[in-house]
């Protein structure tokens, strides 16, 4: 299999940048009580990357409020770089509430329309952020990231990704499609197609593909990404397995069964973190997918997006490990 994260990149792996939004997270317990944490798809991935030993910066915008202070302090304690996070006077971070069903599936309720990250590409600090992104080794973003911005800001983002790739960076895109974040499906499809063309690695799922394009056929998802020229593809299946592929072949990598699923929040985010960390450590895609399954399998056995550090599974990410 031809690799998207090849040897040319490995020497630049000292810097990863994850772009997106983190919100205050409220989790509803069976007795109706709420617990507070924080979460957001790319933040979850960056945190798990940091726990797996990568040097990662989170790229977002926050307010000057105590809740933003709390998040910055927590991320710093986890080893996430926070120097690329503008703090906007009078702004407040977004908020979401998770309601979890007995089978572990969850519903999300959001309050985020005025979140400061939506101004990320039209701030006085934007040019500094773009320079840092161009100097990164790997840039990670998601479909949720794209939904945060209007067309002009997305164009500026894509221009930055193109410039970064021209300087030797790699781009990994997780489809993570949330319909409520978009005014209509056509706009989302157009933005995703642009993201595919700017990506070296795409982590997709049949669930996202069905919501975005109306079919849950993994072969259709694979064909679409190949047609866009993506070099390395992961398609997560409805069953606990994924396809890993380049532009000519694919193979299936299954996951170990999980006896008790408590909460599926951040399963895909943690999979992405371990998959990319393992690839950057020199593992082939098959071993990286197994690492992704292993971390995601641990995450779904706990409530909320971020599991305790003590619950992280023992993992060897070096070549030949799993």
Write out pLDDT tens, residues 46-72. Answer: 999 999 999 999 999 999 999 999 999
Pairing relation of β-strands 34-39 and 23-28? antiparallel
Q: Tell me: pLDDT of 137 over 50.
A: yes
Taking Cα atoms as reference points, which of 116, 128, 144, 109 lies closest to residue 19?
144
Fold of 11-311: 3.40.1190
Q: Tell me: pLDDT of 104 over 70.
A: no
Q: Render pLDDT for 220-274 as a digit per residue (tens, 0 to 9).
A: 999 999 999 999 999 999 989 999 998 778 899 999 999 899 888 899 999 999 9
| % helix, strand, coil for the chain, step of 5 | 40, 20, 40
Taking Cα atoms as reference points, which of 253, 265, 255 lies closest to residue 297?
255
Question: What was the pLDDT predicted at 7?
Answer: 38
Q: Tell me: pLDDT of 35 over 70.
A: yes
Instruction: Return the active site residues.
Output: 269
Report d(CA 55, CA 136) in Å as an integer. Answer: 11
All residues at 6 or more sequence positions from 66 whose CB lies less than 8 Å from its CB, including other chains: none
More reliable by pLDDT, 30 or 198: 198
Of the pLDDT bands very low, low, confident and very high (cuts 50, 70, 90), residue 11 is: very low
Q: Tell me: pLDDT of 320 over 60.
A: no
């Amino acid at each position: 299999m031809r690799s998207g994260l090849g040897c040319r990149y490995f020497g630049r792996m000292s810097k990863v940048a994850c772009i997106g939004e983190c919100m205050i997270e409220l989790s509803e317990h069976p007795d109706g009580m709420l617990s507070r944490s924080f979460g957001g798809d790319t933040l979850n991935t960056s945190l798990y990357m940091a726990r797996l030993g990568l040097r990662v910066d989170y790229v977002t915008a926050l307010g000057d409020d105590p809740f933003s202070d709390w998040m910055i302090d927590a991320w710093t304690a986890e080893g996430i770089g926070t120097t690329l996070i503008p703090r906007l006077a009078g702004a407040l971070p977004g908020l979401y509430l998770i309601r979890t069903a007995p089978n572990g599936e969850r519903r999300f309720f959001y309050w985020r329309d005025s979140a400061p990250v939506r101004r990320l590409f039209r701030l006085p600090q934007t040019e500094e952020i773009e320079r840092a992104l161009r100097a990164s080794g790997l840039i990670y973003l998601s479909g949720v990231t794209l939904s945060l911005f209007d067309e002009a800001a997305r164009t500026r983002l894509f221009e930055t990704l193109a410039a970064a790739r021209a300087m030797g960076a790699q781009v990994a895109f997780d489809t993570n499609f949330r319909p409520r974040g978009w005014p209509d499906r056509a706009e989302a499809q157009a933005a995703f197609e642009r993201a595919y063309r700017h990506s070296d690695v795409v982590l997709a799922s049949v669930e996202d593909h069905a919501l975005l394009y109306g079919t849950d056929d993994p072969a259709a998802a694979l064909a679409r990404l190949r047609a866009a020229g993506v070099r390395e593809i992961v398609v997560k299946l409805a069953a606990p397995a994924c396809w890993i592929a380049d532009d000519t072949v694919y193979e299936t990598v299954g996951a170990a069964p999980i006896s008790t699923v408590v909460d599926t929040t951040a399963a895909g985010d943690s999979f992405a973190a371990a998959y990319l960390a393992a690839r950057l450590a020199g593992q082939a895609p098959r071993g990286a997918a197994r690492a992704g399954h292993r971390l995601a399998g641990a995450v779904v056995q706990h409530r909320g997006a971020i599991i305790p550090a003590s619950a992280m599974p023992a993992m060897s990410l070096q070549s030949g490990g799993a």
